[in-house]
Structure formats: structure tokens, C-alpha cells
Structure 1
């Protein structure tokens, strides 16, 4: 069954054996085996980042903080305690998170509030011709994603503008699930607006990953060097690896580049369109630039959808443009959104103290807490 919708305004550690990863991938038990390994290599960096982030926030509000299990942290103040795991809070139910994580369901709900969403078509691999028809009808480029159950850009390919690229993108996305979605690729900048109980607590412009040429290294080498910096650098700059995949190859091709090219010294090369694997240098706090009407309307949206802690992903060439039929496009709403985008920013002195704001809200309002 296929469904087409047009825009409307209405534990830690490594797997022990790389060969086992490859075998599992071939049997479709483990998608993107090599990329899984690369992500796992960075997992200790992510755990350390969040542990130190919550410790600093707890110190700031006069709370105590201690690990209580793999990935779980307990924070106490005034006789109450809250538990966090990475950026996950004790606010939204598993059913609510599952609902908002299904792109078709969430798009229908968003559009029902008169907010623009991308044109899209839901399909499965057996009906790939429906995706080909969508590409032909829109003229491309399009984005191919798993319909549900993934995050962090897993299985996502942008810049899909030919039938061959579409077939490759479908194969990649299908590793993560049977149901897929193809969407129009919306132009503009990418903004993450983070809400807590209906209030906007921060907005970040997230630019795509970019590298700076040295004049003597290929783009492939620059990617490897960037990943080494993310893994072994003295301070965290990103919590995910920069992966060489179809999204990277498509973005480079837009500029007539290949991985074997050698950028000039000091030349900036944008290597992906999807922003999920960007670094601190590409994150910019822009809370003061969000129009009050936009902030209020999206706050009401997430409240009406039953989400208490949410990240609204907005695409627009101009953040000042009002929401509406021709306005900014909501491409996704995330429950329990990542907080590192608000901490790892290009100018840390301008960063909004989101972790402190979150903890103060929980304890001051006795929400998302327990009484031990």
C-alpha cells in the first residue's frame, strides 16, 4: 500500500569481531555494520560528554549528581530525584515518543494544525516504482528515509535526483526497516527549536558538516582526520562520526567534487546536506532571531500533540517568514531531543544553558521527578 501527501497548511564497548559484524550485515540482522562500529567507537565520548554536562548543570542548581547504572544518571535536590539517560528525561511516555517518531503519523498531525510539511510518499521496497513516480513528478531532488524507528540521520540520503541514486538510497534505507518515505528536499537553513512544557528554551541553526582543505590532503583523508579529532581530541566537538556514504557522495557531486579531490588550503568544503553529523563549528545559537509568533505557534503545536520535551526541526531560507502555506517547513519533531547541539556550538559564550534550564524546571515544578 502506498500513500501520497502533498504539502498542506491545514552499553558501551565494541563488538568483538569485525567479521561478525560483516556477516550479520549480510544476513540483514545488523544494518551498516562498519558504520555501527564507527559509532560505537565514539560512544565513550558521548557518555562522558553527557555525564559531565549533567554534573555541571546539577552543580549550578545546587543538586547532587551520580551515575547509577550504564548510561543512567541520578540527580537529587530538595528531597526529589530525577533520572536521565543521555538527553532522555522522565517526561514523555513511550507511546508518545513512538507516535511522534512515525513520520507519516507526525506529518498528518502537524498538517492538521495548519503548518506546512514536505510533500512525501510512503512506500516499501517492493513498490519502489511509487518512489520513482514521486521523483519524476517533483523533479527532485528528494530525500529518502526509513519511515520510523531511526534517529541521528541513520538511513537518510539527500540529494537524490536520478533513478539510480534513488535505487541506492532505497537499498540503504531499507536496511533499517520495511516501510520507507521519500520527501521533497526543502531548500533553506536547518533550525532546531527545543521546547520544554510548551516554552521555547533555545533555537540553534545547524549547518551541514564542512571541512577545511589543507592543500595536500584529499577529502577522504580530511574526513579520516576529522573523525580522529572527534574520537581523540581534548574536548568534544561532535558525538557522532562523519560517515562516508551516499549522502556525502551526492553532496560532493553537487559541487563537482569527489572524495579523491584535494581542496585548496583554507578552502571550506561542505561534505553533506544532512546536518546530523555536523560539529560544534556548524552550530549557532539563534534564539533571539525566532519571531514570537513562530515560537508561540510551535509551542502550542507540541503541547497539543502531547509532547512535553520536544525538538522541532524547521527548514526555511528566512526564519523571519511566518508559518503558513508558503512559510517554513516542519520536517520533523523529535521527542527527547539531543542536548549536545545546544552545548557544542561555534561560540560557547553565546550558548543558552539548556541543561541547567531543564533541571531547574523539573525540580521547581515537581515534574519528571520521583520522591525517593
Structure 2
């Protein structure tokens, strides 16, 4: 593909507006995956949407109920998944991973990847080179790709869990594909130099790391007769059967998956050998519990995570750092801060490879929330009635 062709194609999608953006992910994987494979995985994802939402709510309900029980508090459930946690005169409201800590302005700042990176850089944190661009003017982004080589393309804001993220983008054609994949989620995109090493995710609360995991890209294991698509569908069925306790996200067959397979000489309709492990994404967000290992971060990693949260003014954050040498943290060549999330998921610290490694991070979070409200009078939500919504709940942590 020539540069002029790439520019015209991307500008054409921009002129097509929202309708063109919605269909662009299908164009992104054309030639990399057959239509039947795409339809099978997308059909599974569509049918599982409500089941996943229920599983997510149930998992978080158990996490908060167990934390409340250990804290000597009560939990009342209200409509739409809101939970009111009360201990004595202290009351706080939570909903899944949402809590009452950081301000809307700080949350908005952190959600903008380019603005957040600028703040991190001012704070002396090593962040990767990045550039925001619209499809109407992709030229600077193409120059960026030529200068930096292997890159990541992602939406500029408004997404999470790896939605629209494509790694290992090296060629002009793959850049166009990655832009088409990401633009469905956001009209503005970011291209950034891909960092090296394994990814560590640290949960920071009020200047301290309360949990840390090392995450690996998701994979499936061949049986000698099933295609990669078959294996993806089977792994998703396994996760659904586990009720969210093997991961709250399902594997997809988007561009990141197709490029990852291509890099291994495979495609969605390939049949891996018996016992052959196949990576099915480079982005780690859709990994299962087996892909998430609880760790004790090195002092250098912990210090970098705390500094990143402070640079953005966040009390609660997950800080993702890639580094080839964890003991050196971000000082290692090729290392840096991938991203800081201001509404971090908590379940990554419960759904880990070794059950003995579970980190009950909700306990630390709930302790802070309730202690701060012991001297502040907060009106309680009205309980609808005994035995129904609003009844006290309890349970075991996921």
C-alpha cells in the first residue's frame, strides 16, 4: 500500500461519519480472517453480553460483601447494582469498581491518554512517545510510524479493557487496519511507540501499592483437530461457565488477534498441533486467571507506580508498566508507563493463577472509605423493604 492510498482511505472513512466508523473494524481484518470465523465469534460475544454483565455484577457483589464482613460493616443492595456499605455512622456507596474517592476533573484528565501522558512526563515519569491524530489528517501519524517502527494504535479516550487497541503495528497497511479498528470506539486516535518487556499492573491507594500482578497475553492450547477459532469459542464457553471467576472478558477475533496469529504463522482457521500453545492477542486485558500472576513488585516498580498516581493527582489508580527488567523498573532500557487507569478493575487481584495469591484489595479500599466517613454525616439510601432489594448481603470474595 502506498502512502497516498492510505491517506485517501482513512480520510474517506472520516467523511463517512459514524456509519463508516461502525463498519470499519470488519474492513480492518479483511484478508486476515474469513467471514464465517468472524461471525461465529461475534455471535458468541453478542449472545453472552447479558450473561457477562450479570457475572460481573455478581463477582463484585461478592468482593464487596466479603470485604464488608471482614470490616464489620453491612451491605445493602439497591437498583442498578449500587451497594451501600455501612459501619456505625459511616456510609459509602460503591458500584462494581466505582467508588467515592477521586474528583470528576481528575477522572476526566486520566481518561484522556495524551493529556495524561503529558502530566506524567512533567512529573519525570518515563512515558512512551505518542501522537494524537484524527483520520482527516493521518500524515503526521504515518511519519511517526516510519520514525519509531513497532507501534500501538488505540482510541484516544473513552474506552477500557483494551477495546480498539492493536499492538505490533509495523507496516503502512497494518497501520491503516489498526486505525480502522480503533476509530469505531473514538473519532480521535493515538499512535505510540510500543514498550518492551512484561507488563506489571499495580493498584495504588493513597500513595501505597496495595496489590500487584504480572499479566501475560491470552493464549489457547491446540488439540490437533480444532481450529484457532474453535479453541477461542471453547475458551470463552469455559469462562462463561465459571460465572466470571476465570475473567470478566471474553476473547475476541479482532485485528490484534489476527496480527498476533499472523506473527506465529497462523490464521483463525489454522489447526494447531496437540499441546501447541497459541497466543491469541498481544493486549493482555482479555487474559484469564491463568494469565495473571500475583507478585510483590520490586521497590523500583512500586515507586514508579506511586509517582505516576501522584503526578495525575489520583488517590486510587492502577498503573501499568512494561519493563524487561522488573528490578530496575522504569529505568530499564525500553521500559515505561503504559497507562494509568482512574477507575481500575479490582478483580485482576482476585482472579489469579495461584488461589493462594489472591490480594483482597477491596479490604484496603473499604477501610479508607469508611474511616473517612466516620466523622462525616452522609444520608443513607432508603431500603425498599425487608428481604428484597436493599436487604443486607454477605458472601465470600471471588
Partner of 1:125: 135
Partner residue of 2:122? 112
Moved more, 233-242 or 248-257: 233-242
Question: Paired residue for 1:313, among 313, 316, 320?
Answer: 320
1:10 matched residue in structure 2: none
User: Relative to structure 2, which stretch is displaced further, 305-314 or 295-304?
Assistant: 295-304
Match of 2:224 among 215, 225, 238: 215
| Shift in CA distance, 201/368, structure 1 to aligned 2, threshold 3 Å | farther
Structure 1 residues 119, 28: closer, same or farther in 2, change over 3 A? Answer: closer
**Cα gap change, 1:122/1:369 in structure 2, threshold over 3 Å: closer, same or farther?**
farther
Structure 1 residues 152 and 218: alpha-carbon distance in aligned structure 2, compared to 1, 3 A threshold: same
Structure 1 residue 25: deviation in Å? 7.7
Instruction: Kindly indicate whether residue 341 of structure 2 is the aligned counterpart of residue 334 of structure 1.
Output: yes
C-alpha spacing 1:368/1:333, structure 2 compared with 1 (3 Å)? farther
| Residues paired across the two proteins, number | 346
* 3-state DSSP of counterpart to 1:358: helix
Structure whose alpha-carbon radius of gyration is higher: 2
Q: Does 1:281 align with 2:290?
A: yes
CA contact (8 A) 1:25 1:32 kept: no
2:3 counterpart residue number = none
Shift of 1:210: 1.0
**Structure 2 length as normaliser, TM-score?**
0.81
Rounded Cα–Cα distance in structure 2 between residues aligned with 1:177 and 1:276: 19
CA, structure 1 residues 31+176, in 2 after alignment: closer, same or farther (shift >3 Å)? Answer: farther
Q: CA deviation at 1:324?
A: 3.9
Q: For 1:126, what is the secondary structure of its paired residue? A: coil
Structure 2 residue 211 is matched with structure 1 residue 202: yes
User: 1:123: how far off?
Assistant: 0.8
Q: What are the superposed Cα offsets for residues 51-71 of structure 1, whole Å, 9 maximum, x if unpaired? A: 111111111211111211202
In structure 2, what is the Cα distance between the partners aligned to 1:229 and 1:369?
Answer: 45
- 1:73 is aligned to 83
Tell me the distance in 2 between the aligned counterparts of 1:346 and 1:98. 33
Which structure shows the bigger proportion of residues in helix conformation? Answer: 2
1:151 aligns with 2:160: yes
User: Does the C-alpha gap of structure 1 residues 264 and 30 become closer, same or farther in structure 2, counting only changes over 3 Å?
Assistant: closer
Partner residue of 2:151 out of 142, 154, 160 = 142
Give the superposition deviation at 1:364.
3.0
1:145/1:157 contact within 8 Å kept = yes
The CA deviation at 1:305 is 2.2
Give the equivalent residue in structure 2 for 1:251.
Answer: 260
Q: Secondary structure at the match of 1:172?
A: helix
Alpha-carbon contact 1:125-1:178 (below 8 Å) kept: yes
Deviation at 1:311, TM superposition (A): 0.5
| Larger relative contact order (Cα-Cα within 8 Å, sequence gap ≥ 6) | 2
1:73-112 to 2 correspondences below 5 Å: 73-112=83-122
Name stretches of at least 5 consecutive residues in structure 1 with no aligned partner: 1-23
> Per-residue CA shift, 1:269-302, capped at 9, x if unaligned?
1111001111100001112xx2324423431431
SS in 1 for 2:77: strand
Q: Separation in 1 of the partners of 2:117 and 2:148?
A: 18
Cross-structure match for 2:269: 260
The 8 Å contact of residues 362 and 368 in structure 1, kept in 2 or not, is answered as no
Distance in 2 between residues matched to 1:103 and 1:235, nearest whole Å: 28
